[in-house]
Amino acid sequence: MELIIFCTESILISFFLFFLIFWNHYSINTSIDDNNIVTYNLVLTRQLDFDLFSEMSLPESDIIIAADVLYNPELATQVGRRIYEAISQNDKIPKLIVTDSQKFHGTDFLVEVTELKELSSLLKERGLEQLQWEMRQLKQVCASGVLVDEDQTYDVDVRMICWGWESQ
């Protein structure tokens, strides 16, 4: 299984822990032998330094995750273009998870990226679901930030794309 995650380093650590918990339900096998020794078959990962703005093709993957990285219109546009590339130009179509808790002006790549407007008709032709944002509220999130000395607990409204999970 190939997984691509676009995120900051701190989010990567949190997301990797989430991924291990989430994936435990699907493909981390746990077994206990006759001597009560537990064996875990974990997912092996490797780090790939990939520049979203490069001319390099996006590696094929089973899952693409873009976790809270839509900080400005240019970055959001490039994430949108890479999603278009992953869905339209690869034989293996990945599942997507995109989260955006900030919702900065100009970062809605579904509206801003011309290629994704074209992708809509391609998805329709293939009988696949459309890409669309869903709003979710995370209750009682405990987090800290760069300008905040102590943890704060608050509710967070997040927009999210969760695509490709139903069709497979």
The pLDDT value recorded for residue 30 is: 56
In this prediction, residue 4 carries a pLDDT of 67
pLDDT for the residue 8: 60
* Residue 51: burial class (beta carbons within 10 Å; 0-12, 13-18, 19+): exposed
- Tell me the average confidence (pLDDT) per consecutive run of 10 residues in the chain, 168 residues long: 60 49 45 60 61 87 85 91 87 87 88 86 88 89 76 87 78
DSSP letter string over the chain?
Answer: --EEEE--HHHHHHHHHHHHHHHHTTT-EEEE-TT--EEEEPPP-------TTSSSPPPP-SEEEEES---SHHHHHHHHHHHHHHHHS-SSPPEEEEEESS--TT--HHHH-HHHHHHHHHHHHTTPPPP--EEEEEEEEEEEETTEEEEEEEEEEEEEEEESSS--
- Its pTM stands at 0.72
For residue 128, what pLDDT is reported? 87
Tell me, what's the pLDDT at 118?
Answer: 85
